[in-house]
Amino acid sequence: MRIFKLILAAALAVSATVASAQEAVSLRLNWYLGGLHVPFYYGKEMGYFKQEGIDLTINEGRGSGNTVQVVAAGSDTFGMADSSSLITTASKGADVKSVMSLLNSTGFAVISLASAGIKTPKDLEGKSFAVSPGDPLGQLFRALAAHNKLDMDKIRFVQVDPAAKVVAVLEKKVDALLGGADDQFFLIKYKGQEPAALRYADHGANIVGMTILTTGNTIKNRPDLVRRFVKASVRSWEEARKNPNAAVDTAMKVKPDLNRQSTMDQMMVDFDLLDSPNSRGKIGMGAKADWDQTISLLKQYRELSTNEPWTTFHTNDFLPK
């Protein structure tokens, strides 16, 4: 009996040590739970973060710009935000940097009903588009137009609230909306209509899409934590891609009112967006060519003011070897 008690005490001590070794870490998403976020919930449920000594809390977001600010203020350890929000905020002095170049192709797209006949950039002339005030989609549309030599005088923008974009297309108040190939495309589809998407990335206006960021202070003072978080994140995406149904099951447990098929469809599009022609082969790896082009387009079309190199905004140093 005494030996049994000693063994039990030792086991409990080991268990307590493992539990105490878990660091509390939070990840702020860019938006409400959707297909883009499923791999992180899957990785948490499967214990990939726990195995790296991380007790992960995932918080929904309210837009990329807000996420960058929240992380910069130290309210969350890591954040998910599009590259344009990260770069523009960092260029103004915020202490933030990307540690994963997650989606290396942007999901930005012109989303329409298939019946509108928008198949090529030239088809955009003579059309009207729903866009939201301050939306980077509208500003970067000009890069798409310039690359394809479109006449902007033949294109009309209609300012609407973000949530009203899909309604405006469905009610045919506009010909299309500027949105996401992994988002509004499926909102239209699951309203019973056939959508079409003309992606910026396919027509000369690609920028790095979604990034995972943290503060420079965290990178400097807690590099091992960053490395472990990135390792668990990469594994989460790799395993979710292998087991998409199981991954979506995890999301449905967290938010049962999700449209399962729409969530699955969104995630599958995001798997396609992981790579660009310059970055194929490794989840989270950022390519110089993609980041340089992103910065160049932001300077031209979003009034970015910086002379900093791309490595000021992103690092590949924490990716698994």
Tokens 């449905």: give the residue: 252
Q: Which of 195, 201, 82 is nearest to 144 (CA)?
A: 201
Q: Distance between CA 63 and CA 170 in Å, rounded? A: 24
pLDDT score recorded for residue 136:
80
Cβ atoms within 10 Å, residue 4: 8
pLDDT score recorded for residue 163:
84
Q: Distance between CA 248 and CA 246 in Å, rounded? A: 5
Q: Which residues contact 45 (CB under 8 A, 6 or more apart)?
A: 250, 253
Q: Distance between CA 68 and CA 212 in Å, rounded? A: 10
Domains assigned to the chain: 23-104+208-312 (3.40.190.10), 108-203 (3.40.190.10)
Q: Which of 55, 16, 31 is nearest to 232 (CA)?
A: 55
Q: Distance between CA 218 and CA 79 in Å, rounded? A: 12
Q: Distance between CA 320 and CA 7 in Å, rounded? A: 37
Tokens 């690609």: give the residue: 206
Q: What is the DSSP annotation of 239-294?
A: HHHH-HHHHHHHHHHH-TTS-HHHHHHHHHHHHHHT--TTTTTSTBPPPHHHHHHH
pLDDT score recorded for residue 5:
52
Chain centroid, CA 183 distance in Å: 11
Q: Are 109 and 139 a contacting pair, CB within 8 Å? A: no
* pTM exceeds cut of 0.85: yes
Q: Distance between CA 226 and CA 79 in Å, rounded? A: 12
pLDDT score recorded for residue 7:
52
The 3 state secondary structure assigned to 112-126 is EEHHHCCCCHHHHCC
- pLDDT per residue, tens digit, the chain (321 aa), is 555 454 545 454 444 444 448 999 999 999 899 999 999 999 999 999 999 999 999 999 988 999 999 999 999 999 999 999 999 999 999 999 999 999 999 999 999 999 999 999 999 999 999 998 877 888 899 999 999 999 999 999 999 998 899 999 999 999 999 999 998 999 999 999 999 999 999 999 999 999 999 999 999 999 999 999 999 999 999 999 999 999 999 999 999 999 999 999 999 999 999 999 998 779 999 999 999 999 999 999 988 999 999 999 999 999 998
